Amino acid sequence: MGRYVVRRLGQLIVVVLGATLILFACLFVLPGDPVGQIAGSDKARDPAVIEQLHEQYGLDKPLVVQYGTYVGKLVTGDLGTDYTQSRPVSEILAPKLGNTAKLAVFAIVLDVIIGVSVGVVAAMRRYSIWDVSATFATTLAIGVPSIVLGMILQRFFVVELNWFPLIADDSFKSMVLPAVTLAIIDAALVAQLARSTMLEVLRADYVKTAVAKGLPRRTVLFRHILRNSVIPVVTYLGISFGTLLGGAIITETIFNWNGIGLALIQAIQQNNNPIIVGVVTISVAVFVVLNLVVDLLYAALDPRIRLA
């Protein structure tokens, strides 16, 4: 187990380094000078000022050196300095990452409640009207992308009913709609997954044995059926949570939720490379860390899995 964790951590570092290298190489060859905007308009630009800014941000050094410096700082949690505000990127993104995390947690909680309960009911009452409606509703929900669902929810609950603010502040109230948008599509997938794994487990011999030896229904359901059905669902939720923490760009943009996804889109409009690199790095790192956590959770949930 210990050796497995160490090996996975090693892989994780390789993945994050590879991802930052791709990102860094892509953004380095980008046309346009990143300091151009803060050096003033075209006429007022002083070559000396630009040179000084280049020196200040280390842009005069070769790519390899810049990447080395970037990675060296990354290890200490330093994501570089923002060009437009002259503040550390980590300082700018920290509160936004907090907002994204709040949204992700809320969405995942809704996701689990809706998804698992719908899936379990559908599986336990297979072919009933509940099962058929659940299959219909989940297929439909998966087909509705977040750009469409977000627009519809905003149209009715913000514009029509005025229940929620149009421009989100960081309040709980303005978090409801983006969280629901994220949760509905995901919950549909969770419900389908929970249903199909449960149907598989229900057929398993150990469930028949448990019933045959006269265990109470409740014990069979919780100890035998649910515990064994939960593994694929946990995997899915872990990956989904990782994706949400990496910034739900569309949903955050539609509802103006001040998270790192919105920050990424704004940074693209302002040509603000350090913020772009920062957001993508965070999003990749969070995703691989959560993947590792999910794999470790496997072992805790399923005694058959031995990590080596």
Which residues contact another protein by CB under 8 A? 11, 14-16, 18-19, 22-23, 26-27, 29-30, 139-140, 142-148, 151-152, 154-155, 159-160, 243, 246-247, 249-250, 253-254, 264-265, 268-269, 276, 279-280, 283-284, 287-288
Q: Which residues does 266 contact at the CB level (< 8 Å), separation at least 6?
A: 272, 275
Distance between CA atoms of residues 19 and 277, nearest Å: 10
Q: Both tokens of residue 254?
A: 């539609």
Toward another protein, which CB reaches closer, 81 or 272? Answer: 272
* CA distances in angstroms from 151 to 32, 138, 154, listed in the order given: 34, 19, 5
Shortest distance in whole angstroms from residue 52 CB to another protein: 26
Backbone φ and ψ for 255, nearest 5 degrees, come out as -95, 10
Shortest distance in whole angstroms from residue 33 CB to another protein: 15
Distance between CA atoms of residues 302 and 300, nearest Å: 6
C-beta separation of 223 from 241 below 8 A: no
Shortest distance in whole angstroms from residue 242 CB to another protein: 8
Toward another protein, which CB reaches closer, 220 or 264? Answer: 264
Distance between CA atoms of residues 180 and 212, nearest Å: 42
Shortest distance in whole angstroms from residue 41 CB to another protein: 23
Distance between CA atoms of residues 242 and 89, nearest Å: 21
Toward another protein, which CB reaches closer, 4 or 49? Answer: 4
Shortest distance in whole angstroms from residue 292 CB to another protein: 11
Shortest distance in whole angstroms from residue 246 CB to another protein: 5
Toward another protein, which CB reaches closer, 6 or 211? Answer: 6
Q: Both tokens of residue 76?
A: 């200490």
State the number of CA atoms in the 13 A half-sphere of 54 facing the CB.
12
Toward another protein, which CB reaches closer, 16 or 230? Answer: 16
Report CA 29 to chain centroid distance, whole Å. 28
Distance between CA atoms of residues 289 and 72, nearest Å: 19
Shortest distance in whole angstroms from residue 276 CB to another protein: 7
Toward another protein, which CB reaches closer, 10 or 216? Answer: 10
Burial of 213 (0-12, 13-18, 19+ CB in 10 A): exposed
Shortest distance in whole angstroms from residue 83 CB to another protein: 15
Toward another protein, which CB reaches closer, 39 or 288? Answer: 288
Q: Choose among 300, 257, 283: nearest CA to 96.
A: 257
Q: Which residues does 211 contact at the CB level (< 8 Å), separation at least 6?
A: 220
Toward another protein, which CB reaches closer, 144 or 297? Answer: 144
